[in-house]
A and B are shown apart, each in its own frame.
Chain A
Amino acid sequence: MNFLDTLWLIPMFPLLGAALMMLLGRHQFLDPQMKNSSVGHHHHHDRGHDQDLRPRQGPRWLIGPLCSGFVLLSFLWSLGAVFAGRSEQVLFTWVAGLPFPAFDGRMVTLTADWGYLLDPLSAVMILMVTGIGFLIHVYSIAYMAHDGGLYRYFGCLNLFVFFMLVLVMANNYLLLFVGWEGVGLASYLLIGFYFKRKPASDAAIKAFLMNRLGDAGYLMALFFLLSIFGTVRFTEMQAAPHPLLPWATLLLLAAAIGKSAQIPLFTWLPDAMEGPTPVSALMHAATMVTAGVYLIVRAEPFFRLTPEVGSLTAAIGAASAVIAASIALVQHDIKKVLAYSTVSQLGLMFMALGVGAYWAALFHVVTHSFFKAQLFLGAGSVIHALDGEQDLRLMGGLRHQMPQTFRTMFIGTLALAGWPGLAGYFSKDSILTSAWVASPVLFGAGLFTALLTAFYMGRLLFLTFFGPYRGDQNIHESPKRMTVPLWVLSIGSIGAGWFGTPFAGWLGATPEPHSWAIMVASAVVAVAGLGIAYHFYLRRPGTADRWEEGVAPVARLLRARWYFDDLYELIFVRGLARQGGDWLSAWDRRVVDGGVNGAGWLARKAGDISKWSDTWIVDGAVNLTAISVKLSSFPVRYLQTGLAQGYAFLIVLSLAAMAGWYLLRSA
């Protein structure tokens, strides 16, 4: 079996799962709840036949394993392909538009293949997407066991993996965009999975629209690339300086900002927590948000030629890293802490991209995917145990009742905080080293972010698992099907960091030489952050509250999430959409239609006038004629009465007159 010739199968497996679930899910895998509700309402289906009344209890338990199996197949297949080497496979000509003049004047045709490219970069992404995606699928089987709409959940999860695979495997920028928008669709469907809840559907729309804003940038970037290079195929684009190339990279950056939730388009990601927790794990770790980083790494040749855009990338990354980490400090929702942490970590990756350390960014993507997936799934396990409770203030002391979850989350926390020797330490160190070479300010921002990260993760860990329990739930450890994926992920959280140098080599990059000073600084910061959190929340509980009172304005700023959401609400939702729409509606009704109706009114008035003139002038003239004829005919009329006696009388009279006249003349 040749894996390279069958690359197309890798995304095909999850697509198959998605299609199966979407088309047959409701029939074959009917949920008990769904069946009950539908029996109640479809009276016309009851025709007295027994088989119609009997609930069609399909093999519901099969849904999860089936869909997980598709992703596993995909993972194994990509493993085979990656070990077989590199390859590019064109399936068919997808878009074949018409010729157009490129910037240099030559006529080129707008075409894009449906083709897949397997190179080290896409290989890393494929393995991560399918591998971690598979674990999240497995975890979901137990986590979602009691939810309705299971076929919809797993169908969308498979769809998510499919689109993400198209995104990272595409051999051109147009097909990449299919995956790009596709993950937007899948995330919309999954964030809004609990569609009866308004916050969930609100968050889904917000995610989709903010992503679309970035997508608009992507489209514009595509047009620039098409006109500069005449093609969108990666292997045919020879990067060379061009006066308009900065526009293309700037717009690609805008697209990446939307997808990877960077300032200013980051506010959708924390809201996206409305989806089921495994979905958050999938979006924050392996898919979706990593797409922005992938895009910039893919467009590396263009970014290298436009250092000014690179600086902007680094600045946005640094700002996102610090701001998001600062917001995470004060969040009470366990998932929100992790969500802002993702924005912050992505900020570090963008910083690395901005300073040209593409491999370091990708390295951090990989290590981050392990411990962030682990942390989210761990948080899910806690939420599961507490029957949906997500407030850190109502947790505490859970390490006794949930030892497996605690241990794995402990590992994940240390890995994210940058504890020496664990995965996050190494990848963060690579980023800090590159940042130091580029600019001390960026390095400072990175180091400060690391301190904040260690602190808020320590806070999360201590508030959840240590101290007294502050809630009133009956706590139980999650089943094996949930804890086993956690343990598998912890292998990556512990070990993935040690492969930095071979990783860079595989990607063809030369990492900056390690600096002992930076490594020590990074380690000190991590330990210090955890230590401060220990002091604040465990050794002297209440310290945090006193500090918050001490720096009240800062605390307010952080709690209000730097007012980004309020600002957007004001400008876009209330201002542009509501007010603007209202004004335009009124304009349409009053002014444009006013003109139309006014014209109608004028026409009617003109009609009235012509009716009046018809009655009095035109008809008047006609009637006047008639009357004058009538009047002038008045004497003559009496000559033609139609009465025979009159005529006879007249005849006699005339005869008499004629006879008289004759007699008189002759006389």
Chain B
Amino acid sequence: MPWLTALLALPLVGLIVLLAIPGKARNLVRLWANAVLLAGLGLALPLWQSFDRTANGYQFVDRMQWIPTLGAQFLLGIDGISLLLVLLTSLLGPIAALASWNAIEERTKEFYAMLLLLQFGMLGLFLSLDLLLFFVFFEVVLVPMYFLIGIWGGERRLYAAIKFFLYTLAGSVVLLLGIIALYWQGGLHLARPTFEITELLKLQLALDVQRWLFWAFFVGFAIKVPMVPFHTWLPDAHTEAPTAGSVLLAGVLLKMGTYGFVRLSLPLFPEAAREAAPILAVLSIVAILYGALISLMQQDWKRLVAYSSVSHMGFCTLGLAALNSNGIAGSVLQQFNHGISTSLLFLLVGFVYERRHTRQIADFGGLAVVMPRFAFVFAVAVFSSSGLPLLNGFIGEFTILQGAFIVSRTWAAFAVFGIVLGAAYLLWLYQRTMLGDLRNEANRGLADLSLREWATVLPLLMLALAIGVYPKPWFAVLERPVLEIVGRFGR
């Protein structure tokens, strides 16, 4: 059986079997979902070994006919960029499932069904090499996430879920128009109409056509990232979502936007991208500083982490806007890093929320006294997120800033203050929650990390350290595809 198809089919098959399990057997449901997602990780990990770092183009390609009359295919394949995101998704899926073990007591079966469907959609998006298939997965992901937020979310879950859905749907509509227009262009200039991305890359589009298409795609992806000023769905959705939802939303879903840029917008419309790059860069820098400053002022622990994503994703889009090798490679690596660090932060706030059912920072303080191990892990997460060398965040930010510097010293000079502010809001959060005296009596009996909780954070901690200490292999994977993209800008 083809590897990638199997990887993609696994959560779907798991979902179908799950539906046959009686909903009352909650632990069996949990066990099954965890097992399926873990098996997915087991299936995805060997890709890292088998992946050929010296080859150009896509690997492990699976091709089947889908809608022949339209030229749409079921076409899967990966390069170094999608490899990282597939691995990230495969890792965060089981972690999110394991983290929800005790949190979801109502409609447990439906919850895990949504989680599996979500996993299917996310993997499909990063695997597809057919534009129509890509779009289908882009939409598939919306549905389970809508329900995850809307059913198992916090107090304002309905507002958040609808806002999330409509925001992204609005982007999708414009994206779909762009895709259809691109398909139309393909029909005019290619031998036969097709949605295959590598075929569409052969198009020599006129600049004004590129411009229209670039901005159509931009709307779809910028909302997903989200870039300022399309970001306000994010704090609501992240804050109200259950822990698993927040982890996957921040860890994977946001990357669908940046992935869209790097896989489609940049290589398909290189001249338009070059024209638009300064605008993207300015929006990114605004996001970096703006997100950080707003994070400083949050009173809600989870909302603070949510806003920090705006800032961190600003670094990712800044790297893309640099349109050069280190900028783009750094951006992809930073997408991976953000998946690790922010997931850690969301997991940790989730653990505390499960114990105390509040997220208000003012309700905490001095937790390090009762939860020293938690405090240790939280400290590592904080420093990983704020880009301390020898942890993962640094190397991504460093290469992004270097890439930006090559294009414009001014960009780098502004963006570099993001690392100061990033440390500021995280350290202040740490102080207000972990340090000081244990003032609130309700926090006195809080249990430290359980074994299950350790199991969710430990892989992320080790990965954060591994990338920080030895980042070389990660660049080795990215080198070929990134140089290929940069080559399209004709410099």
Contacts and interface: CB of A to CB of B under 8 A. Distances in A.
Contacts of A178: 389-390
A209 interface: yes
A621 B423 CA distance: 65
Given A98-B326, A208-B423, A220-B413, A581 B294 contact: yes
B288 interface: no
A8 B398 CA distance: 25
A223 B405 contact: yes
Contact of B482 (A98, A197, A227): A98
A592 B167 CA distance: 13
Given A101-B406, A196-B437, A220 B412 contact: yes
B53 interface: no
Q: Which of B231, B373, B406 has its CB near the most chain A CB atoms (within 10 A)?
A: B406
B472 A93 contact: yes
B216 interface: no
B72 interface: no
B442 interface: no
B154 interface: no
Nearest to A110: B326
A578 B325 CA distance: 37
B326 A100 contact: yes
A578 B293 CA distance: 8
Nearest to B298: A585
A182 to B, nearest CB: 7
Given A201-B431, A581-B293, A223 B423 contact: no
Nearest to B432: A201
Interface in B412-430: 412-413, 416-417, 419-420, 423-424, 427-428
Interface string B369-405: 1101100100000010000111000110011011101
Contact of B294 (A101, A185, A197, A585): A585
Interface residues of A, number: 55
A22 B373 CA distance: 11
Interface stretch (A117-125, A211-219, A421-429, A439-447): A211-219
Given A198-B436, A581-B294, A584-B294, A100 B390 contact: no
Interface in B304-363: 324-326, 329-330
Contacts of A100: 324-326, 402-403, 406
A101 B486 CA distance: 13
B398 A219 contact: yes
B394 to A, nearest CB: 8
Contacts of A96: 471-472, 475-476
Contact of B293 (A196, A219, A584): A584
A219 B406 contact: no
B372 to A, nearest CB: 7
A549 interface: no
B45 interface: no
A600 interface: yes
Interface string B198-238: 00000000000000000000000000000001011101000
Chain A interface SS verdict (over half): helix
Contacts of B476: 96
Contact of B369 (A196, A223, A226, A592): A196
Contacts of A177: 389
A542 B370 CA distance: 51
A498 interface: no
A324 to B, nearest CB: 24
Instruction: Sort chain B's interface into a size bin.
Output: 35 or more
A378 interface: no
A581 B296 contact: yes
Contacts of B61: none
Contact of B419 (A26, A93, A215, A578): A215
B416 A97 contact: no
B389 A181 contact: yes
B390 A99 contact: no
Contacts of A584: 290, 293-294, 297
Question: By CB atoms of chain B within 10 A, which of A209, A219, A226 has the most?
Answer: A219
B412 A42 contact: no
B146 to A, nearest CB: 16
B325 A201 contact: no
A101 B326 CA distance: 11
Interface string B470-489: 11100110110011000000
B490 interface: no
B402 A212 contact: no
A51 to B, nearest CB: 19
Given A181-B389, A182-B390, A220-B413, A97 B402 contact: yes
Contact of A219 (B166, B416, B479): B416
Given A100-B325, A588-B294, A223 B401 contact: yes
B368 interface: yes
A36 interface: no
B229 A94 contact: no
B163 interface: yes
B417 A216 contact: yes
B239 to A, nearest CB: 13
B447 interface: yes
Contacts of B166: 600
A655 interface: no
B93 interface: no
Nearest to B401: A219
5 contacts: A98-B475, A182-B388, A202-B431, A581-B294, A584-B297
Interface of B: 163, 166-167, 229, 231-233, 235, 290, 293-298, 324-326, 329-330, 366, 368-370, 372-373, 376, 383, 388-390, 394-395, 398-399, 401-403, 405-406, 409, 412-413, 416-417, 419-420, 423-424, 427-428, 431, 434-437, 444-445, 447-448, 470-472, 475-476, 478-479, 482-483
Given A182-B388, A220-B405, A577-B297, 18 more contacts: A44-B447, A96-B472, A97-B330, A98-B325, A101-B406, A181-B394, A198-B435, A205-B424, A215-B420, A219-B416, A220-B412, A226-B402, A578-B297, A581-B295, A582-B297, A584-B290, A596-B233, A600-B163
In the A-B complex, list the 6 residue pairs whose CB atoms are closest, starting with the nearest.
Answer: A581-B297, A98-B325, A223-B405, A178-B389, A581-B296, A96-B472
